[in-house]
A and B are shown apart, each in its own frame.
Chain A
Protein backbone atom coordinates (compact mmCIF):
# COMPACT_ATOMS: atom_id res chain seq x y z
CA UNK A 1 0.00 0.00 0.00
CA UNK A 2 1.39 3.39 -0.97
CA UNK A 3 1.97 6.15 1.58
CA UNK A 4 -0.79 8.34 0.12
CA UNK A 5 -3.33 5.50 0.22
CA UNK A 6 -2.33 4.71 3.81
CA UNK A 7 -2.75 8.35 4.90
CA UNK A 8 -6.15 8.52 3.15
CA UNK A 9 -7.24 5.32 4.88
CA UNK A 10 -6.20 6.74 8.28
CA UNK A 11 -8.01 10.02 7.61
CA UNK A 12 -11.16 8.18 6.55
CA UNK A 13 -10.98 6.05 9.70
CA UNK A 14 -10.47 9.18 11.84
CA UNK A 15 -13.62 10.75 10.36
CA UNK A 16 -15.63 7.56 10.89
CA UNK A 17 -14.49 7.15 14.51
CA UNK A 18 -14.99 10.84 15.30
CA UNK A 19 -18.58 10.53 14.12
CA UNK A 20 -19.09 7.28 16.01
CA UNK A 21 -17.74 8.74 19.28
CA UNK A 22 -19.86 11.85 18.86
CA UNK A 23 -23.02 9.86 18.17
CA UNK A 24 -22.36 7.45 21.03
CA UNK A 25 -21.39 9.94 23.75
CA UNK A 26 -22.77 13.32 22.60
CA UNK A 27 -19.25 14.64 23.18
CA UNK A 28 -18.14 17.95 21.65
CA UNK A 29 -16.68 17.72 18.15
CA UNK A 30 -13.20 18.58 19.49
CA UNK A 31 -13.27 15.83 22.13
CA UNK A 32 -14.75 13.32 19.67
CA UNK A 33 -12.06 14.20 17.10
CA UNK A 34 -9.27 13.65 19.65
CA UNK A 35 -10.80 10.36 20.84
CA UNK A 36 -11.49 9.26 17.25
CA UNK A 37 -7.92 9.95 16.16
CA UNK A 38 -6.55 8.05 19.16
CA UNK A 39 -8.82 5.11 18.29
CA UNK A 40 -7.28 5.09 14.79
CA UNK A 41 -3.75 5.11 16.24
CA UNK A 42 -4.75 2.27 18.56
CA UNK A 43 -6.31 0.33 15.67
CA UNK A 44 -3.07 0.63 13.70
CA UNK A 45 -1.01 -0.28 16.77
CA UNK A 46 -3.13 -3.36 17.46
CA UNK A 47 -3.76 -4.64 13.92
CA UNK A 48 -0.12 -4.72 12.79
CA UNK A 49 1.10 -6.91 15.71
CA UNK A 50 -1.98 -9.15 15.38
CA UNK A 51 -1.28 -9.53 11.67
CA UNK A 52 2.33 -10.42 12.50
CA UNK A 53 1.23 -12.91 15.19
CA UNK A 54 -1.06 -14.73 12.75
CA UNK A 55 1.56 -14.59 10.01
CA UNK A 56 -0.30 -12.39 7.50
CA UNK A 57 1.62 -9.12 7.90
CA UNK A 58 0.52 -6.92 5.03
CA UNK A 59 -2.79 -8.42 3.87
CA UNK A 60 -4.02 -9.12 7.40
CA UNK A 61 -3.10 -5.62 8.59
CA UNK A 62 -4.94 -3.75 5.84
CA UNK A 63 -7.91 -6.14 5.90
CA UNK A 64 -8.32 -5.67 9.66
CA UNK A 65 -8.13 -1.87 9.39
CA UNK A 66 -10.68 -1.73 6.57
CA UNK A 67 -13.01 -4.12 8.42
CA UNK A 68 -12.83 -2.04 11.62
CA UNK A 69 -13.58 1.12 9.62
CA UNK A 70 -16.54 -0.50 7.85
CA UNK A 71 -17.96 -1.80 11.14
CA UNK A 72 -17.67 1.62 12.82
CA UNK A 73 -19.15 3.34 9.74
CA UNK A 74 -22.04 0.87 9.63
CA UNK A 75 -22.71 1.38 13.35
CA UNK A 76 -22.59 5.16 12.87
CA UNK A 77 -25.01 5.05 9.92
CA UNK A 78 -27.53 2.97 11.88
CA UNK A 79 -27.44 5.26 14.92
CA UNK A 80 -27.15 8.55 13.05
CA UNK A 81 -30.15 10.77 13.56
CA UNK A 82 -28.98 13.83 11.60
CA UNK A 83 -25.87 15.43 10.13
CA UNK A 84 -25.23 16.96 13.58
CA UNK A 85 -22.04 14.98 14.34
CA UNK A 86 -20.07 17.03 11.84
CA UNK A 87 -21.86 20.38 11.99
CA UNK A 88 -19.43 23.14 12.95
CA UNK A 89 -20.76 26.44 14.25
CA UNK A 90 -18.39 29.08 12.86
CA UNK A 91 -18.00 32.31 14.80
CA UNK A 92 -15.61 35.25 14.78
CA UNK A 93 -12.59 34.63 17.03
CA UNK A 94 -12.62 36.39 20.40
CA UNK A 95 -9.70 37.31 22.67
CA UNK A 96 -9.66 33.83 24.20
CA UNK A 97 -9.14 32.36 20.72
CA UNK A 98 -6.33 34.85 20.14
CA UNK A 99 -4.74 33.85 23.47
CA UNK A 100 -5.05 30.15 22.56
CA UNK A 101 -3.44 30.80 19.17
CA UNK A 102 -0.54 32.57 20.90
CA UNK A 103 -0.27 29.53 23.17
CA UNK A 104 -0.08 27.26 20.11
CA UNK A 105 2.68 29.42 18.64
CA UNK A 106 4.68 29.29 21.91
CA UNK A 107 4.21 25.53 22.15
CA UNK A 108 5.37 25.06 18.54
CA UNK A 109 8.45 27.13 19.32
CA UNK A 110 9.21 25.12 22.46
CA UNK A 111 8.47 21.81 20.70
CA UNK A 112 10.71 22.31 17.68
CA UNK A 113 13.51 23.64 19.88
CA UNK A 114 13.50 20.31 21.72
CA UNK A 115 12.80 17.95 18.83
CA UNK A 116 15.82 16.14 17.37
CA UNK A 117 16.36 13.69 14.54
CA UNK A 118 15.59 10.18 15.91
CA UNK A 119 14.59 11.75 19.28
CA UNK A 120 16.07 11.11 22.72
CA UNK A 121 17.96 7.98 23.82
CA UNK A 122 14.95 5.78 24.58
CA UNK A 123 13.24 6.93 21.39
CA UNK A 124 15.82 5.46 19.03
CA UNK A 125 17.37 2.83 21.34
CA UNK A 126 14.00 1.30 22.21
CA UNK A 127 10.84 2.52 20.50
CA UNK A 128 12.11 3.16 16.98
CA UNK A 129 14.48 0.20 17.27
CA UNK A 130 11.53 -2.08 18.12
CA UNK A 131 9.69 -0.57 15.15
CA UNK A 132 12.55 -1.61 12.84
CA UNK A 133 11.87 -5.26 13.76
CA UNK A 134 8.19 -4.84 12.86
CA UNK A 135 8.89 -3.46 9.38
CA UNK A 136 10.02 -6.78 7.92
CA UNK A 137 7.47 -9.54 7.37
CA UNK A 138 9.34 -12.51 8.72
CA UNK A 139 11.87 -11.65 11.39
CA UNK A 140 9.94 -9.60 13.92
CA UNK A 141 10.48 -12.28 16.60
CA UNK A 142 14.21 -11.55 16.53
CA UNK A 143 13.20 -8.52 18.63
CA UNK A 144 12.64 -10.86 21.56
CA UNK A 145 16.36 -11.72 21.57
CA UNK A 146 17.53 -8.11 22.05
CA UNK A 147 18.09 -8.73 25.74
CA UNK A 148 19.44 -5.27 26.57
CA UNK A 149 16.65 -3.32 24.83
CA UNK A 150 13.54 -4.29 26.82
CA UNK A 151 11.89 -6.76 24.42
CA UNK A 152 9.02 -7.17 26.91
CA UNK A 153 7.72 -3.65 26.25
CA UNK A 154 4.27 -3.49 24.62
CA UNK A 155 4.09 -2.71 20.92
CA UNK A 156 1.51 0.04 20.35
CA UNK A 157 4.02 2.88 19.84
CA UNK A 158 6.53 0.93 17.68
CA UNK A 159 3.69 -0.56 15.62
CA UNK A 160 2.39 2.88 14.62
CA UNK A 161 5.88 3.94 13.51
CA UNK A 162 6.43 0.63 11.71
CA UNK A 163 3.10 1.00 9.87
CA UNK A 164 4.23 4.39 8.54
CA UNK A 165 7.59 2.94 7.45
CA UNK A 166 5.82 0.03 5.74
CA UNK A 167 3.62 2.49 3.84
CA UNK A 168 6.57 4.70 2.88
CA UNK A 169 8.67 1.70 1.95
CA UNK A 170 11.77 2.51 3.98
CA UNK A 171 12.93 3.54 7.47
CA UNK A 172 13.23 7.31 7.96
CA UNK A 173 13.38 9.79 10.84
CA UNK A 174 10.27 11.83 10.05
CA UNK A 175 7.57 9.34 11.09
CA UNK A 176 8.54 9.11 14.80
CA UNK A 177 8.73 12.91 14.95
CA UNK A 178 5.35 13.34 13.26
CA UNK A 179 3.83 10.79 15.63
CA UNK A 180 5.16 12.75 18.62
CA UNK A 181 3.69 15.96 17.16
CA UNK A 182 0.29 14.34 16.55
CA UNK A 183 0.23 12.97 20.10
CA UNK A 184 1.20 16.41 21.50
CA UNK A 185 -1.62 18.07 19.55
CA UNK A 186 -4.07 15.40 20.73
CA UNK A 187 -2.93 15.89 24.35
CA UNK A 188 -3.44 19.65 24.21
CA UNK A 189 -6.72 19.29 22.29
CA UNK A 190 -8.12 16.68 24.67
CA UNK A 191 -7.25 18.74 27.76
CA UNK A 192 -9.01 21.78 26.28
CA UNK A 193 -12.02 19.90 24.90
CA UNK A 194 -12.55 17.83 28.05
CA UNK A 195 -12.29 20.89 30.30
CA UNK A 196 -14.56 22.88 28.01
CA UNK A 197 -17.34 20.38 28.78
CA UNK A 198 -16.88 20.75 32.53
CA UNK A 199 -15.80 24.34 33.29
CA UNK A 200 -16.21 27.86 31.91
CA UNK A 201 -14.32 28.57 28.67
CA UNK A 202 -11.77 31.02 30.17
CA UNK A 203 -10.72 28.31 32.66
CA UNK A 204 -10.32 25.74 29.87
CA UNK A 205 -8.25 28.23 27.86
CA UNK A 206 -6.12 29.00 30.95
CA UNK A 207 -5.34 25.28 31.38
CA UNK A 208 -4.58 24.96 27.66
CA UNK A 209 -2.21 27.96 27.70
CA UNK A 210 -0.57 26.70 30.92
CA UNK A 211 0.31 23.42 29.21
CA UNK A 212 1.43 25.23 26.04
CA UNK A 213 3.88 27.38 28.01
CA UNK A 214 5.33 24.48 30.02
CA UNK A 215 8.78 23.89 28.52
CA UNK A 216 9.10 20.61 30.45
CA UNK A 217 5.89 19.32 28.91
CA UNK A 218 6.98 20.39 25.41
CA UNK A 219 10.40 18.77 25.91
CA UNK A 220 8.92 15.42 26.93
CA UNK A 221 6.35 15.59 24.13
CA UNK A 222 9.11 16.26 21.58
CA UNK A 223 11.39 13.49 22.86
CA UNK A 224 9.56 10.82 20.75
CA UNK A 225 9.20 8.59 23.83
CA UNK A 226 6.04 6.54 24.39
CA UNK A 227 5.27 8.43 27.62
CA UNK A 228 3.23 11.10 25.85
CA UNK A 229 1.13 8.45 24.10
CA UNK A 230 0.63 6.73 27.45
CA UNK A 231 -0.35 10.08 29.00
CA UNK A 232 -2.90 10.59 26.21
CA UNK A 233 -4.46 7.15 26.78
CA UNK A 234 -4.61 7.77 30.54
CA UNK A 235 -6.17 11.19 30.00
CA UNK A 236 -8.85 9.92 27.60
CA UNK A 237 -9.72 7.00 29.89
CA UNK A 238 -10.06 9.40 32.84
CA UNK A 239 -12.10 11.90 30.84
CA UNK A 240 -14.67 9.30 29.77
CA UNK A 241 -14.76 7.72 33.22
CA UNK A 242 -15.33 11.07 34.96
CA UNK A 243 -17.63 12.61 32.36
CA UNK A 244 -20.90 11.95 34.12
CA UNK A 245 -22.05 10.78 37.56
CA UNK A 246 -23.80 7.76 36.12
CA UNK A 247 -21.48 6.61 33.35
CA UNK A 248 -23.29 5.53 30.21
CA UNK A 249 -22.50 2.31 28.35
CA UNK A 250 -20.63 4.25 25.63
CA UNK A 251 -18.50 6.11 28.17
CA UNK A 252 -17.65 2.86 29.94
CA UNK A 253 -16.71 1.21 26.62
CA UNK A 254 -14.41 4.12 25.75
CA UNK A 255 -12.90 4.23 29.27
CA UNK A 256 -12.15 0.52 28.97
CA UNK A 257 -10.74 0.94 25.47
CA UNK A 258 -8.37 3.77 26.36
CA UNK A 259 -7.24 2.06 29.58
CA UNK A 260 -6.35 -1.00 27.51
CA UNK A 261 -4.55 1.31 25.04
CA UNK A 262 -2.44 2.48 27.98
CA UNK A 263 -1.63 -1.13 28.84
CA UNK A 264 -0.58 -1.81 25.20
CA UNK A 265 1.68 1.29 25.23
CA UNK A 266 3.92 0.72 28.26
CA UNK A 267 4.14 -1.69 31.18
CA UNK A 268 3.04 1.10 33.55
CA UNK A 269 -0.18 1.10 31.56
CA UNK A 270 -0.92 -2.43 32.79
CA UNK A 271 -1.02 -1.04 36.33
CA UNK A 272 -3.23 1.81 35.10
CA UNK A 273 -5.64 -0.65 33.45
CA UNK A 274 -5.89 -2.67 36.68
CA UNK A 275 -6.45 0.50 38.75
CA UNK A 276 -9.10 1.95 36.42
CA UNK A 277 -10.85 -1.43 36.21
CA UNK A 278 -10.96 -1.67 40.02
CA UNK A 279 -12.21 1.93 40.38
CA UNK A 280 -14.86 1.39 37.71
CA UNK A 281 -16.04 -1.84 39.32
CA UNK A 282 -16.19 -0.07 42.71
CA UNK A 283 -18.11 2.92 41.34
CA UNK A 284 -20.55 0.56 39.58
CA UNK A 285 -21.04 -1.70 42.59
CA UNK A 286 -24.76 -0.84 42.72
CA UNK A 287 -25.18 -1.98 39.09
CA UNK A 288 -22.20 -4.24 38.60
CA UNK A 289 -23.61 -5.72 35.39
CA UNK A 290 -22.67 -2.41 33.68
CA UNK A 291 -19.01 -3.33 34.23
CA UNK A 292 -19.33 -5.61 31.21
CA UNK A 293 -19.23 -2.49 29.01
CA UNK A 294 -15.82 -1.58 30.42
CA UNK A 295 -14.59 -5.11 29.72
CA UNK A 296 -16.12 -5.02 26.24
CA UNK A 297 -14.25 -1.79 25.48
CA UNK A 298 -10.93 -3.14 26.69
CA UNK A 299 -11.28 -6.46 24.83
CA UNK A 300 -9.94 -5.35 21.39
CA UNK A 301 -6.65 -4.31 22.97
CA UNK A 302 -6.56 -7.09 25.57
CA UNK A 303 -6.25 -9.65 22.77
CA UNK A 304 -2.83 -8.46 21.50
CA UNK A 305 -1.67 -7.68 25.07
CA UNK A 306 -2.45 -11.16 26.38
CA UNK A 307 -1.21 -12.85 23.21
CA UNK A 308 2.10 -10.95 23.29
CA UNK A 309 2.68 -11.27 27.03
CA UNK A 310 1.85 -14.99 27.21
CA UNK A 311 3.28 -16.24 23.92
CA UNK A 312 6.25 -14.01 23.21
CA UNK A 313 7.41 -11.45 25.79
CA UNK A 314 10.19 -12.35 28.20
CA UNK A 315 9.71 -11.34 31.84
CA UNK A 316 10.31 -7.71 32.76
CA UNK A 317 13.75 -6.69 34.02
CA UNK A 318 12.04 -5.04 37.00
CA UNK A 319 10.67 -8.40 38.17
CA UNK A 320 14.06 -9.32 39.64
CA UNK A 321 13.56 -6.48 42.15
CA UNK A 322 11.28 -8.74 44.19
CA UNK A 323 14.29 -10.84 45.19
CA UNK A 324 15.28 -8.16 47.73
CA UNK A 325 11.73 -7.17 48.58
CA UNK A 326 11.97 -6.93 52.38
CA UNK A 327 15.41 -5.34 52.55
CA UNK A 328 14.35 -2.69 50.02
CA UNK A 329 11.06 -1.97 51.79
CA UNK A 330 12.83 -1.67 55.15
CA UNK A 331 15.52 0.67 53.83
CA UNK A 332 14.77 4.20 55.09
CA UNK A 333 17.48 5.59 52.83
CA UNK A 334 15.60 4.36 49.73
CA UNK A 335 12.35 5.95 50.89
CA UNK A 336 14.12 9.25 51.56
CA UNK A 337 15.94 9.15 48.19
CA UNK A 338 12.71 8.59 46.28
CA UNK A 339 10.89 11.41 48.07
CA UNK A 340 13.78 13.90 47.94
CA UNK A 341 14.71 13.25 44.30
CA UNK A 342 11.06 13.11 43.32
CA UNK A 343 10.24 16.51 44.81
CA UNK A 344 13.43 18.02 43.45
CA UNK A 345 12.83 16.76 39.89
CA UNK A 346 9.15 17.71 39.96
CA UNK A 347 10.04 21.27 40.97
CA UNK A 348 12.86 21.59 38.45
CA UNK A 349 11.47 19.86 35.38
CA UNK A 350 7.67 20.07 35.62
CA UNK A 351 7.13 23.17 37.78
CA UNK A 352 3.31 23.11 37.52
CA UNK A 353 2.98 19.51 38.72
CA UNK A 354 3.18 19.98 42.50
CA UNK A 355 1.03 23.17 42.63
CA UNK A 356 -1.65 21.40 40.57
CA UNK A 357 -1.44 18.33 42.81
CA UNK A 358 -1.88 20.60 45.84
CA UNK A 359 -4.85 22.25 44.12
CA UNK A 360 -6.59 18.96 43.39
CA UNK A 361 -5.98 17.69 46.93
CA UNK A 362 -7.32 20.97 48.32
CA UNK A 363 -10.39 20.89 46.11
CA UNK A 364 -10.78 17.24 46.99
CA UNK A 365 -12.15 15.87 43.68
CA UNK A 366 -15.79 15.20 44.56
CA UNK A 367 -18.29 12.80 43.05
CA UNK A 368 -17.26 11.40 39.69
CA UNK A 369 -13.93 13.28 39.81
CA UNK A 370 -12.93 11.24 42.82
CA UNK A 371 -12.45 8.30 40.41
CA UNK A 372 -9.80 10.24 38.50
CA UNK A 373 -8.15 11.53 41.66
CA UNK A 374 -7.94 8.05 43.18
CA UNK A 375 -6.48 6.70 39.90
CA UNK A 376 -3.87 9.47 39.88
CA UNK A 377 -2.83 8.88 43.50
CA UNK A 378 -2.71 5.10 43.02
CA UNK A 379 -0.51 5.54 39.93
CA UNK A 380 1.87 7.72 41.99
CA UNK A 381 1.91 4.92 44.56
CA UNK A 382 2.70 2.33 41.86
CA UNK A 383 5.65 4.46 40.71
CA UNK A 384 6.83 4.80 44.30
CA UNK A 385 6.75 1.03 44.88
CA UNK A 386 8.48 0.42 41.51
CA UNK A 387 11.38 2.64 42.56
CA UNK A 388 11.47 1.05 45.99
CA UNK A 389 11.91 -2.40 44.44
CA UNK A 390 13.97 -1.50 41.37
CA UNK A 391 16.95 -3.82 40.76
CA UNK A 392 18.84 -0.88 39.18
CA UNK A 393 20.84 1.75 40.99
CA UNK A 394 18.07 3.83 42.60
CA UNK A 395 19.55 7.25 41.88
CA UNK A 396 20.29 6.37 38.26
CA UNK A 397 16.77 4.98 37.80
CA UNK A 398 15.14 8.03 39.42
CA UNK A 399 17.11 10.64 37.53
CA UNK A 400 16.60 8.87 34.19
CA UNK A 401 12.88 8.23 34.41
CA UNK A 402 10.99 10.11 37.12
CA UNK A 403 10.33 13.20 34.99
CA UNK A 404 8.83 10.96 32.31
CA UNK A 405 6.50 9.29 34.80
CA UNK A 406 5.27 12.68 35.98
CA UNK A 407 4.82 13.68 32.34
CA UNK A 408 2.52 10.66 31.86
CA UNK A 409 0.26 11.91 34.65
CA UNK A 410 0.48 15.65 33.95
CA UNK A 411 -2.38 15.97 31.40
CA UNK A 412 -4.64 13.87 33.63
CA UNK A 413 -3.68 16.04 36.61
CA UNK A 414 -4.45 19.26 34.71
CA UNK A 415 -7.88 17.89 33.77
CA UNK A 416 -8.76 16.71 37.28
CA UNK A 417 -7.38 19.73 39.12
CA UNK A 418 -9.05 22.35 36.93
CA UNK A 419 -12.35 20.45 36.89
CA UNK A 420 -12.27 19.94 40.68
CA UNK A 421 -11.33 23.50 41.51
CA UNK A 422 -13.26 25.44 38.89
CA UNK A 423 -16.44 23.46 38.20
CA UNK A 424 -19.45 25.84 38.31
CA UNK A 425 -20.84 24.37 41.57
CA UNK A 426 -17.38 24.60 43.20
CA UNK A 427 -17.00 28.23 42.09
CA UNK A 428 -20.46 29.01 43.49
CA UNK A 429 -19.48 27.40 46.82
CA UNK A 430 -16.26 29.40 46.99
CA UNK A 431 -17.98 32.66 46.06
CA UNK A 432 -20.63 31.99 48.72
CA UNK A 433 -17.97 31.36 51.36
CA UNK A 434 -16.18 34.59 50.46
CA UNK A 435 -19.43 36.59 50.64
CA UNK A 436 -20.20 35.14 54.10
CA UNK A 437 -16.78 36.24 55.35
Chain B
Protein backbone atom coordinates (compact mmCIF):
# COMPACT_ATOMS: atom_id res chain seq x y z
CA UNK B 1 0.00 0.00 0.00
CA UNK B 2 1.43 3.37 -1.00
CA UNK B 3 1.95 6.19 1.50
CA UNK B 4 -0.90 8.13 -0.19
CA UNK B 5 -3.31 5.24 0.36
CA UNK B 6 -2.32 4.94 4.01
CA UNK B 7 -2.90 8.70 4.52
CA UNK B 8 -6.32 8.44 2.86
CA UNK B 9 -7.31 5.44 5.01
CA UNK B 10 -6.28 7.27 8.17
CA UNK B 11 -8.24 10.37 7.10
CA UNK B 12 -11.32 8.25 6.28
CA UNK B 13 -11.10 6.44 9.61
CA UNK B 14 -10.92 9.83 11.32
CA UNK B 15 -13.97 11.09 9.43
CA UNK B 16 -15.88 7.89 10.21
CA UNK B 17 -15.01 8.16 13.89
CA UNK B 18 -16.04 11.81 14.01
CA UNK B 19 -19.29 10.91 12.21
CA UNK B 20 -20.02 8.13 14.68
CA UNK B 21 -19.39 10.46 17.63
CA UNK B 22 -21.61 13.11 16.05
CA UNK B 23 -24.44 10.62 15.42
CA UNK B 24 -24.17 9.21 18.94
CA UNK B 25 -24.18 12.73 20.43
CA UNK B 26 -27.17 13.71 18.31
CA UNK B 27 -29.19 10.66 19.32
CA UNK B 28 -28.38 11.02 23.03
CA UNK B 29 -29.03 14.78 22.97
CA UNK B 30 -32.38 14.47 21.19
CA UNK B 31 -33.65 11.67 23.43
CA UNK B 32 -32.43 13.36 26.63
CA UNK B 33 -33.96 16.68 25.62
CA UNK B 34 -37.26 14.92 24.81
CA UNK B 35 -37.26 13.28 28.23
CA UNK B 36 -36.41 16.53 30.02
CA UNK B 37 -39.10 18.45 28.13
CA UNK B 38 -41.67 15.77 28.91
CA UNK B 39 -40.81 15.58 32.62
CA UNK B 40 -40.91 19.37 32.90
CA UNK B 41 -44.31 19.40 31.19
CA UNK B 42 -45.65 16.61 33.42
CA UNK B 43 -44.42 18.44 36.51
CA UNK B 44 -46.03 21.74 35.55
CA UNK B 45 -49.23 19.99 34.43
CA UNK B 46 -49.60 18.19 37.74
CA UNK B 47 -49.03 21.36 39.77
CA UNK B 48 -50.83 23.99 37.70
CA UNK B 49 -54.48 24.55 38.60
CA UNK B 50 -57.10 25.52 36.00
CA UNK B 51 -60.75 26.61 36.09
CA UNK B 52 -61.87 23.02 36.53
CA UNK B 53 -59.74 22.60 39.67
CA UNK B 54 -60.92 25.91 41.12
CA UNK B 55 -64.54 24.83 40.65
CA UNK B 56 -63.57 21.50 42.23
CA UNK B 57 -62.28 23.21 45.37
CA UNK B 58 -65.52 25.20 45.53
CA UNK B 59 -67.48 21.94 45.42
CA UNK B 60 -65.70 20.39 48.42
CA UNK B 61 -68.55 21.25 50.77
CA UNK B 62 -71.09 19.83 48.33
CA UNK B 63 -69.11 16.58 48.23
CA UNK B 64 -69.09 16.45 52.00
CA UNK B 65 -72.88 16.88 52.23
CA UNK B 66 -74.05 14.60 49.42
CA UNK B 67 -73.27 10.86 49.79
CA UNK B 68 -71.62 9.00 46.89
CA UNK B 69 -74.06 7.56 44.35
CA UNK B 70 -76.78 10.09 45.20
CA UNK B 71 -78.58 12.22 42.64
CA UNK B 72 -78.06 15.99 42.56
CA UNK B 73 -80.28 18.25 40.50
CA UNK B 74 -78.69 21.04 38.46
CA UNK B 75 -79.80 24.62 37.83
CA UNK B 76 -78.16 27.68 36.35
CA UNK B 77 -79.03 30.99 34.72
CA UNK B 78 -76.61 30.10 31.94
CA UNK B 79 -78.04 28.71 28.73
CA UNK B 80 -76.87 26.74 25.71
CA UNK B 81 -73.23 25.66 25.53
CA UNK B 82 -72.33 27.58 28.69
CA UNK B 83 -74.92 25.67 30.69
CA UNK B 84 -73.83 22.39 29.12
CA UNK B 85 -70.21 23.02 30.05
CA UNK B 86 -71.07 23.94 33.66
CA UNK B 87 -73.16 20.80 34.00
CA UNK B 88 -70.45 18.55 32.57
CA UNK B 89 -67.84 20.18 34.82
CA UNK B 90 -70.03 19.63 37.86
CA UNK B 91 -70.61 15.99 36.88
CA UNK B 92 -66.88 15.42 36.39
CA UNK B 93 -66.00 16.96 39.74
CA UNK B 94 -68.82 15.42 41.77
CA UNK B 95 -68.61 11.83 40.44
CA UNK B 96 -69.48 9.26 41.77
CA UNK B 97 -72.48 11.40 42.62
CA UNK B 98 -74.84 11.78 39.64
CA UNK B 99 -75.78 15.23 38.38
CA UNK B 100 -79.23 15.36 36.79
CA UNK B 101 -79.56 17.64 33.80
CA UNK B 102 -82.49 19.44 35.44
CA UNK B 103 -83.49 20.34 38.96
CA UNK B 104 -85.94 17.46 38.49
CA UNK B 105 -86.93 15.25 41.39
CA UNK B 106 -83.69 15.42 43.33
CA UNK B 107 -83.89 16.58 46.95
CA UNK B 108 -80.73 18.62 46.68
CA UNK B 109 -80.00 20.95 43.79
CA UNK B 110 -76.63 22.31 42.75
CA UNK B 111 -77.00 25.88 41.55
CA UNK B 112 -74.03 27.34 39.69
CA UNK B 113 -74.30 30.99 38.63
CA UNK B 114 -78.06 30.77 39.17
CA UNK B 115 -79.04 33.75 41.34
CA UNK B 116 -82.07 34.55 39.18
CA UNK B 117 -83.21 30.92 39.20
CA UNK B 118 -82.90 30.84 42.97
CA UNK B 119 -84.79 34.11 43.37
CA UNK B 120 -87.70 32.54 41.48
CA UNK B 121 -87.77 29.55 43.88
CA UNK B 122 -88.69 30.97 47.29
CA UNK B 123 -88.37 28.89 50.43
CA UNK B 124 -85.45 26.64 49.46
CA UNK B 125 -82.91 26.07 52.22
CA UNK B 126 -79.36 27.03 51.23
CA UNK B 127 -76.88 24.39 52.45
CA UNK B 128 -73.73 25.65 50.76
CA UNK B 129 -72.90 29.13 49.48
CA UNK B 130 -69.43 29.26 47.98
CA UNK B 131 -67.49 31.30 45.44
CA UNK B 132 -64.95 29.49 43.30
CA UNK B 133 -63.28 32.02 41.04
CA UNK B 134 -65.95 33.53 38.78
CA UNK B 135 -68.48 30.81 39.67
CA UNK B 136 -71.10 31.15 42.41
CA UNK B 137 -71.85 27.69 43.78
CA UNK B 138 -74.89 26.96 45.93
CA UNK B 139 -76.39 23.74 47.16
CA UNK B 140 -80.05 24.01 48.10
CA UNK B 141 -82.38 21.52 49.68
CA UNK B 142 -86.02 21.15 48.69
CA UNK B 143 -86.91 18.72 51.47
CA UNK B 144 -85.53 20.88 54.27
CA UNK B 145 -87.68 23.82 53.18
CA UNK B 146 -90.92 21.95 53.70
**Interface membership of chain B positions 30-45, coded 1 if the CB is closer than 8 angstroms to chain A and 0 otherwise:** 1101100110011001
Q: With an 8 A cutoff between CB atoms, is A101 at the interface?
A: yes
**14 intermolecular pairs with C-beta atoms under 8 Å apart:** A92-B24, A98-B30, A112-B41, A121-B88, A125-B91, A129-B88, A132-B92, A132-B95, A133-B96, A142-B69, A143-B95, A148-B88, A149-B91, A172-B46
Pick the residue among A105, A125, A136, A181 that contacts B68 (CB under 8 A): A136
Contact partner of A139 (CB less than 8 A), chosen from B27, B31, B69, B99, is B69
Shortest CB distance B74–A (Å): 10
Q: With A92-B20, A104-B30 known to touch, is A140 a contact of B45 (CB < 8 Å)? A: no
Chain B binding surface SS class: helix
B87 located at the interface, meaning its Cβ lies under 8 Å from any Cβ of chain A in the complex = yes
The docked-state distance in angstroms from the alpha carbon of A178 to that of B53 is 19
Bound-state Cα–Cα, A95 to B20, Å: 9
Residue of B whose beta carbon sits closest to that of A133: B96
Q: Are B23 and A104 interface neighbours, CB within 8 A?
A: no
Nearest 10 interchain pairs by C-beta: A101-B30, A132-B95, A139-B69, A108-B34, A112-B41, A125-B88, A105-B30, A101-B27, A139-B96, A142-B69
In the bound complex, residues from chain B placing their C-beta under 8 Å from that of A148 are: 87-88, 91, 101
**B26 touches A (CB below 8 Å):** yes
Cβ contacts under 8 Å, A128 to chain B: 92
Contact B42 A177 (CB under 8 A): yes
Query: Which residues from 45 to 103 on chain B have a C-beta closer than 8 Å to any C-beta of chain A?
Result: 45-46, 48-50, 52-53, 68-69, 71, 87-89, 91-92, 95-99, 101
Query: Are B98 and A112 neighbours in the complex by a CB distance under 8 Å?
Result: no
Tell which of A95, A125, A142 touches B97, judged by Cβ atoms closer than 8 Å.
Answer: A142
CB distance from A420 to the nearest CB of B (A): 30
Q: Categorize the interface residue count of chain A.
A: 35 or more
Known contacts A112-B37, A147-B101; is-contact A94 B96 (Cβ 8 Å):
no
**CB neighbours of B101 from chain A (8 A):** 147-148
Chain A residue at smallest Cβ distance from B68: A139
- Asked if residues B96 and A140 are in contact (CB atoms below 8 Å), the reply is yes
Whether the pair A92, B23 counts as a contact (CB closer than 8 A) is yes
Q: How far is the CA of A195 from the CA of B97 in the complex (A)?
A: 47
Using A98-B27, A138-B69 as known contacts, list a sample of 18 further A-B pairs with CB atoms less than 8 Å apart, ordered by residue number in A.
Answer: A102-B30, A105-B34, A108-B38, A109-B37, A111-B38, A115-B45, A116-B45, A116-B50, A117-B53, A125-B92, A129-B88, A135-B96, A139-B96, A146-B91, A148-B91, A148-B101, A174-B46, A177-B42
User: Chain A 150-193 against B: per-residue CB contact (8 Å), 1 yes, 0 no?
Assistant: 00000000000000000000001110011001000000000000
